[in-house]
Amino acid sequence: MNYTTQMDAAKKGIITKEMEVVAEKEHIDVNALRQLIAEGKVVIPANKNHKSLSAEGVGQGLRTKINVNLGISKDCCNLDGELEKVRTAIEMKAEAIMDLSNYGKTEHLRKKIVDMSTAMLGTVPMYDAIGFYDKDLKDITVDEFFRVVEKHGEDGVDFVTIHAGLNKETARIVKNNPRLTNIVSRGGSLLFAWMELNHAENPFYEHYDRLLDICEKYDITISLGDACRPGSINDATDPAQIKELITLGELTKRAWERNVQVMIEGPGHMPLNEIKANMLLEKKLCHGAPFYVLGPLVTDVAPGYDHITSAIGGAIAAASGADFLCYVTPAEHLRLPTLEDMKEGIIAARIAAHAGDIAKGIKGATDWDNAMSKARADLDWEKMFKLSIDEEKARRYRKESSPENEDSCTMCGKMCSMRTMKKILNNEDLNI
């Protein structure tokens, strides 16, 4: 039986090879997974042209996934450096990579990533349009916008962020409800500017069926972008954000009618006490579609440490229903991240995702923690290193401060509680 997309196959009762891979990774029944995909509650972003992909599922009942942003800019145009980030991100178990290149002819880098990446690849075609055509934003035509989306599909991109919910009505609400930080989404701000300059409707909203045609053709998952995500805690959960979310819910249903898979993007900067409610709002207004969040960053005052502000919010978001976390690095708001910045961002996001999985009871999530706790009780340092989320750092820290007794560390020495309990319970000489 033929099918066009993973959702089309799921509705027809077909088990695809990608579903089998995801079911094995998640230790769940493949038919249960197929049903969730048919309902739109799980997506498997898997472009037909991405041959190196190791499929991942995003959504209800699955492990929280993380995404790594990278890409070149006019000020930092090092292709080899970005490809090294891709290799490192995959080694560090990131499930997704977004190429956010916004300078020059980006096709070469994008194709390189598709060829080498087992992780799913996302892009924001809006970023590419200006460099692709080498013309002013105002002068880019509707046809040209869609030609870029088609090109990304041809190249093998698995999911595209499209800010289709920023229509004229949402733009009116933005203007009538002033924010501290206006529209902070780069793609959203460019679309807003294009609409204002041309006195026109958002082409991705007005011609949404044309977008669905492209996504159905290549099985691209639409990541419905949050142009109005809050860029400060002051702007969180405001009229523009909620209006856009309602529109995204409507667009989700239209995509599902065409068997196009959908994720919803979310905040942004947000106080701790608003995160849980926002996760509930998204799931309600967008009919259970997977939720992909940037952070949320829970304070605005920590440049240089925003991987931490993001991890705090990300853990709460994941515990409250978010399915996919976009990492944030220490360089957020400051500069293009280095390789080391990326590593710190990945670790922080993975910690947040795993903490969320424990809280929402994902099958097998606590097995890793229990194994680590057992190794600590046994003072099995080698096993502790191997179970560490960052093995290299754990080994380096211990090596940098060697204890007198190998079964302890330099924090407690012979007064180590694990050492004391192990020896007492085994009737061994304590010798403190």
CA distance 300 to 328: 13
Is 412 flagged in the annotation as binding? yes
Q: CA nearest 241: which of 314, 293, 303?
A: 293
Identify the residue whose tokens are 């007064």: 415
- By residue range, what is the domain housing residue 296? 43-359
Q: Is residue 380 part of a domain?
A: no
Give me the percent of the chain exceeding a pLDDT of 70: 100
Residue 1 pLDDT class (50, 70, 90 cuts): low
CB 116 within 8 Å of CB 52: yes
Provide the pairing of β-strand 58-59 with 42-43: antiparallel
Is 103 flagged in the annotation as binding? no
Between residues 120 and 412, the one the model is more confident about: 120
Neighbours of 93 (CB within 10 A): 11
Q: What is the pTM of this model?
A: 0.95
Residue 125 identity (one-letter amino acid) = P
Is 287 flagged in the annotation as binding? no
Is 163 flagged in the annotation as binding? yes
Is 185 flagged in the annotation as binding? yes
Is 307 flagged in the annotation as binding? no
pLDDT at 154 over 80: yes
Mean pLDDT of 134-156: 96
Q: CA nearest 120: which of 279, 6, 270?
A: 6
| Averaged confidence pLDDT in the chain | 95
pLDDT at 106 over 90: no
Q: Determine if the peptide bond prior to 303 is cis (ω within 30°).
A: no
Q: Is residue 406 part of a domain?
A: no
Residue 430 pLDDT class (50, 70, 90 cuts): confident
Q: Is residue 37 part of a domain?
A: no
Which token pair is 162? 């499209």
pLDDT given for residue 260 in this prediction: 98
CA distance 396 to 400: 6
Is 227 flagged in the annotation as binding? yes
pLDDT given for residue 40 in this prediction: 98
CA distance 70 to 181: 24
Is 354 flagged in the annotation as binding? no
Is 409 flagged in the annotation as binding? yes
Is 416 flagged in the annotation as binding? yes
Is 207 flagged in the annotation as binding? no
Q: What's the number of domains the chain is made of?
A: 1
Q: Is residue 113 part of a domain?
A: yes
CA distance 45 to 57: 7
CB 270 within 8 Å of CB 242: no
Is 292 flagged in the annotation as binding? yes
Q: Is residue 353 part of a domain?
A: yes
Q: Is residue 49 part of a domain?
A: yes
pLDDT at 3 over 90: yes
Q: Is residue 211 part of a domain?
A: yes
Is 108 flagged in the annotation as binding? no
Mean pLDDT of 93-122: 92
Mean pLDDT of 15-29: 98
Q: Is residue 22 part of a domain?
A: no
Neighbours of 43 (CB within 10 A): 31
CB 310 within 8 Å of CB 352: yes
Mean pLDDT of 294-314: 97
DSSP 3-state helix, strand, coil percentages of the chain (rounded to 5)?
50, 10, 40
Query: Residue 337: is it exposed, middle or buried by C-beta count within 10 angstroms (0-12/13-18/19+)?
Result: buried
Between residues 82 and 406, the one the model is more confident about: 82
Mean pLDDT of 419-425: 89
Question: Which CATH number do you get for residue 133?
Answer: 3.20.20.540
Which token pair is 391? 């093995």
42-95: per-residue pLDDT in tens?
999 999 999 999 999 999 999 999 999 998 888 888 888 999 999 999 999 999
- In the DSSP assignment, the letter for residue 269 is B
Is 269 flagged in the annotation as binding? yes
